[in-house]
Structure formats: C-alpha cells, structure tokens
A and B are shown apart, each in its own frame.
Chain A
C-alpha cells in the first residue's frame, strides 16, 4: 500500500457520506457487506456495550469520536485531493465496468450503483481537522479561526474548492473538537481520469450525478468558503434567522447563546456536502468524448430526491426477477448496505438523516407507492436531540400504518437513541438477521433505467435523467 494511500486513508473521515459510498461499494463488488461502516465490526454485543453507559458518557463518547476523526492542524498542509481520489479508485476491482457514477453523494445512489455494478467517484469528500478553539454557537469566530486552514487546503489543491461547513444543530457533538472542511473537485484530476479511461469497458456509460441543492455561503479566500448550517431538521432560513425553537435548543444544550449570528453571506453556492459544482462537468464531458463513452446526467433538487426512484427501480427489478417486492428497508445517513439489500431482496429507501424532512419524504413515498408487506427502518444516531429529530414513536407509527404485515425499527437501541453510539455496529447484524435470502442478481444497465421509466406510470418531477 502506498504512503499516499495510507495518508489519504488517515485524512478521510470515517462517517463521511462519500467515503462510506466508496467503501460500501468497494466491498460490495468483492461480495462483502458494509458492516461497521466498513471499518469496524458488526456486533450486537459490542454495540450494546457501547450504548450502555449513561447519556452523559455517551455524549462525551460522541465528542471523543469527533476528536479522533480530526487530523492535527500541522497535517492540514499535507491534504492532497489527488491522493484522496486515488484512495477512492483503489477501492474498486480492476473491472472493466460498463458504467460508473461520478458526482454528488447520495445513499440512494449507493444502491443504484450496486444495481448497475458501477463504481462511484465522489466529487466531494470531508476532511476533518482538530479544533478545540471554537464554540459551535459562534459561527463568525469559527469562520475566522478556521479560515487560514480552509485557505491553506484550497491553495494546496488548485483543482478543488474547500467549504468550511459549520452546523451546530446536527453536528454539535462533533464540533466540540473538530471542524468540517469539505473538498469539492472542480477538475477530474489524474486519478479519476486514469480510472475512467482504463477501467471502463469500450462504450461504457458515465452517469453524472448532480444534486442542485445550494446554500448561503461566504467567501473566505480563493476557492474557500464558509457555510453555516446544512440540510436537515433546521431550515436554511432558520439557521440565519433563529427563533424560539433554536433558543430552546441552545438553552437545553447549555449554550451561552440564545440565537445564532452567522456571518454575512455573499453568494449561494453548491451545498457543501451534497451539492454538485457544475464546473467539473466540462472535464467529464471531454473525457467521455475522447473515449467514446456515453454521458448521462441524473439530476436532483435535494439529496434525498433520488430515494423514491431507486426504491421503485428495485421494485421493478425484483418483479422482473420474480422476487417478492413487498419488503422495504429504510436506511438513514451512512448506515446503508447494498450487499444485504440485494441478499434480502429488499427495496432500499434512503433517508438523508433522522429529521423531519426525511420523515416527510418517507411518508410521501409510502403514501404514493404500492403497499409493502414488510417495512424495516434503521436510524442513524448523531448524539443529541437536535431540532427536527423525529422521535422513534412517530417513525414507528408511520411504518406500522403503512405495512400490510409487519413493521419494525431494527438495529436501534431505543433507550439510547439518538445517543445510540453503538448504532454503527448494530445496523448490519440487524439487516443480516432478517429472514430472507436471495442470490445477488446480475447487474442491470443504464438502459434498464430507461426501460423502467418507460414502463413506470409514476412521475419524478424533482429528478432529471438525460
């Protein structure tokens, strides 16, 4: 293993969505599951042990996890997006692949990629740096304090932009000891170019996955930006104009603040984690033309918009295979597992998080979709009751009201949630314990998406497939 790959492995963040897409798919192509986010064990016992201490200790453990994920500040100058890209490509077998997906992160896209046998190359990856100097509720100070590091990484990576993302609602425990710096590629770079040129089969299809979600940002340097808040339980408006609900939340968190005062914004830019920066499109188009690849664009307004299509696509696929399509497995954030979804013959529905918008998305889907016999739901724990977290009881009511035979929340310690720190070790054993088994089917092709959409009577107005 090269020094660069080892270093890149140290620089990426284990709970990052893109990193988990790469790890899950890399292992899926080797016939392996995504237990323990592909870095730890899948073990109910260990999970229960981790979630057994009192809430205060569990909260401290979440803080500690953040501290452990951040790289020391003296290493920030070594962050090399090209090494991270190489690290990503090295997760995939030699190929050749008939298709590849490149672009925005999405848990639904993990299942789409698995169905197509397509590797995923992320545009954005998270690098966390240690930060014990800033307070989660002082965004202006946090922006200024991290700006030199944000600029440093941007300067050292001229093919990328860097977003310092600061979200005291959802990421509060992590922000106690680290800062989120998201690196967004603006050029393909040598590693991705080589991968696409050498590992795709002649005439292969590149699917450009574009999430059009933008967010208010502030420039802190050349290709360096600050984003306050992120999609989740608090609306973009509420981050910038806090009210009673945020005041109550801050009081409950023991903060000295009762509101947030984010810095002045200067532009809307692609959302730091999920948003697609179209600057990258030129390189992809040129590469596709050079190599005779077909380029398809899959666009979505919000990261979760792809979930209904991917769920229905699997249902359609299972019906063609003669597999029961009556089992829905709803996964959240990075607790996905393409291997077990296909082994169980389950229809995957990805929830971006455990917040109200994700709940509404699932409710809307279940209202519109044909009925499911079994609905299973797993929820990610982020370490606190942040605004918009939906209680388990409400989730349960939803799935029980929609399942024809059985509904269950699985892989969650209900007494510990949302401080279920063992959750990342528990979801895969919970999936594995479900009583269904099927062989992994042969992969589909991008043309099958066309066929599915042609046959489907359903509209996906927030999606584009060109």
Chain B
C-alpha cells in the first residue's frame, strides 16, 4: 500500500490507545470494535453504562483492551475526566475519535429552543470538549490523531435538521481551524493530525433514537452504507491521516454535484428528505428521543436498515451495469 515514504508515515494501530465518544452504538461502536480488532486499547465513552460494558466485552473478545467510562460529552469536566482516565489506565492517548452525536428532526418553528441548544451542546461542544481534553495530552506526547466524525449534511444541508446540519458544518470548520493552528505552532504540533470523516447515510440506530417533531417516522435515506465501512475509513485515516474522508461513493458524488450546481442539489436534497427520509404513510409521535436521556438498552451497531444487503445489491447492480457497458463496447469495436 502506497510508497515507502507513506508507509513510514503510517501510524501503527496495534497497541495504540484510542478514545471513542459515542461508543455505545452505531459508528462509534463499530469503530471501537474495528480498533479493538486491530489490537488497539479502546477507551469507550457514552452516556449508557450498560451499553458501554457490553461494547467493552465485545472489544475484549475482538482482541483489544477496553475501558468503559460513562460520559456526557456536553459536560467538559466529564470529558476531561475521560481523558485523564485513559492516560491513567493506558499511559497516553494516540487517537481521539469524536463521534457522540444526537439528532433532532423537526420543522424549524416547532423545534423547542432547549432541544436545539442541546443538539449544539452535544454535537458541537462535545467535539470541542473532546479536542480540548485530547490536545494537551497529545502535545505532551508530541503526536496524536483527532478524528471528528461529521456528515455530508454538514456540506449539503437538509431540511428539518437545522441544528444537526449546523453542528456537522461546525465540526468541519473546527477541524480546519485546529489543523491551521497546529501547523502554525511549529514542528512538534505538526505531528498532531486532525481529520474529518463525512459519512453518507449509515445503517445505525441513530434515526430511531433522535428527537422528532415532524409527525412522520424517520427512515434512513438511501443509499445506506454499513457502519463497518465508516469504521474502516476511520482506522485507515488514523493510519494515514488526511484532511477529509467521505464515506459512501454516492455521498462523494453529492458533494461534487453540490460544488457544480449548488442550487439544484439544495432543491433535490429538500425533496429527497421530504419523500425518502421521512415516512409518507407512517406517522410518529412527537418525541425528544435521546436528547436529554440516553436511549434504553445495551445499544447496537446496526439500525436495521439493511445497509449490508443494500450495499451488496448496489454492488451487484453496478457490476452488472459495468459488465454490460464493457460487453457493448466490445461488440461496438468488432
């Protein structure tokens, strides 16, 4: 993989210490399992202790060491304590994955302000707290990687998720600012990398747990990718840090289209959310979801949106189309 110079630059994931916020479910959980599977020590943070304990057991079974630290990322003291306990147990922090997020989908005027603020507290300030807790330790070590999980909706906004999209855009800006600041600080800080991951729609319980005041059930908007795919991307970006990584080819296409025809993409996104993200036949009660209280249960990686199956079907169709195009081209040449 890559040149010799690149190989030398690559960070060793095995035996590294990785702190992951939002580790009780979805992308965070898949990421914890992926790092543990590569032999990393993982420090797991989320609000749900039973879920974290379960993830810790799974990580240990996958081959890594694990420490569960129940944490509300909106509380800086709790996040700093998380960093302290990671260092106390494993001696350092090599990777900090900011992934904890809550969602709120609601017509703007129906959105309670306190819920709007809570999303920003968790989804923006939670990341700020993570960076503020991790950076001093990384600077002391002289190295480290901060991975901020954003979303393609941080680039192409969607209706009804104002706070969430704002937060995801803010995360991207936070990453950029931190990168610039670290660059300006000189050679020692330059070894600290900040990277942003922008997933497309991922098959996680996120949609089910979010606050919803639209009156309509929330569905994962196709195409849906697996959380394992994002986890792999995060592990890879830690090995070879890059500014930004988009997960999901259609997400990449969307961002490209947004650069070329921003107005059209904005309209398309609005219609897609209205027709595909929100159910048209399944009403839903108003709920503040897991904004203020964590969801019950032990959590899970997947949300039941068949991301794996859908990816397999997409690949099969793409392969068939490609094969057809190749066959047609050959016939044409004859």
List A residues at the B interface (Cβ < 8 Å): 67, 70, 72-74, 76, 129-134, 141, 144-149, 151-152, 177, 179
Contact = CB atoms under 8 A, between A and B. Distances in A.
Contact of A145 (B275, B281, B285): B285
Nearest to B282: A133
B281 A73 contact: yes
A179 B283 CA distance: 10
A148 B215 contact: yes
A149 B110 CA distance: 12
Nearest to A70: B281
29 contacts: A67-B281, A70-B281, A72-B280, A72-B281, A73-B215, A73-B216, A73-B280, A73-B283, A74-B274, A74-B280, A131-B281, A131-B282, A131-B283, A132-B281, A133-B217, A133-B281, A133-B282, A133-B284, A144-B285, A144-B286, A145-B283, A145-B285, A147-B215, A147-B285, A148-B110, A148-B284, A149-B215, A151-B215, A152-B215
B286 A147 contact: yes
In the A-B complex, the 7 residue pairs with the smallest Cβ-Cβ separation, listed nearest first, are A148-B215, A72-B280, A144-B285, A130-B281, A133-B282, A149-B215, A145-B285
Contacts of A179: 283
A149 B285 CA distance: 9
A149 B283 contact: yes
Contacts of A67: 281
A462 B215 CA distance: 41
Interface in B285-302: 285-286
A181 to B, nearest CB: 11
Contacts of A76: 215
Given A73-B216, A130-B281, A134-B283, 15 more contacts: A70-B281, A72-B281, A73-B283, A74-B274, A74-B280, A76-B215, A129-B283, A130-B280, A133-B279, A133-B283, A144-B285, A147-B215, A148-B213, A148-B284, A177-B281
Interface in B3-34: none
A276 to B, nearest CB: 29
Interface string B65-105: 00000000000000000000000000000000000000000
B202 interface: no
A148 B217 CA distance: 11
Nearest to A131: B283
Contacts of A129: 283
Nearest to B214: A148
A149 B275 CA distance: 16
A74 B283 contact: no
B190 to A, nearest CB: 50
Nearest to A130: B281
Contacts of B192: none
A74 B278 contact: yes
A188 to B, nearest CB: 27
Indicate the member of B110, B213, B280, B286 with the most A CB atoms within 10 Å: B280
Interface of B: 110, 213-217, 274-275, 278-286
Contacts, number: 58
A132 B285 CA distance: 13
A74 B215 contact: no
B81 to A, nearest CB: 38
Indicate the member of A70, A73, A129 with the most B CB atoms within 10 Å: A73
Contacts of B216: 73-74
A149 B216 CA distance: 8
A263 to B, nearest CB: 13
A76 B279 CA distance: 12
A148 B283 contact: yes
Contacts of A133: 217, 279, 281-284
Given A73-B215, A73-B216, A148 B281 contact: no
A73 B278 contact: yes
Contacts of B215: 73, 76, 146-149, 151-152
A152 B286 CA distance: 12
Indicate the member of A72, A74, A177 with the most B CB atoms within 10 Å: A74
Contacts of B275: 74
A133 B279 CA distance: 10
Nearest to A132: B281
A131 B214 CA distance: 14
Contacts of A134: 283
A192 B284 CA distance: 34
A133 B284 CA distance: 8
Contacts of B282: 73, 131-133
A147 B110 CA distance: 13
B208 to A, nearest CB: 13
Contacts of B110: 148
A236 B275 CA distance: 39
Nearest to A143: B285
A92 B281 CA distance: 34
B106 to A, nearest CB: 9
A149 B280 CA distance: 12
A148 B278 contact: no
Contacts of A70: 281
A74 B159 CA distance: 13
Contact of B284 (A74, A145, A151, A152): A145
A296 to B, nearest CB: 41
Nearest to B213: A148
A67 B286 CA distance: 23
A194 to B, nearest CB: 31
A146 B281 contact: no
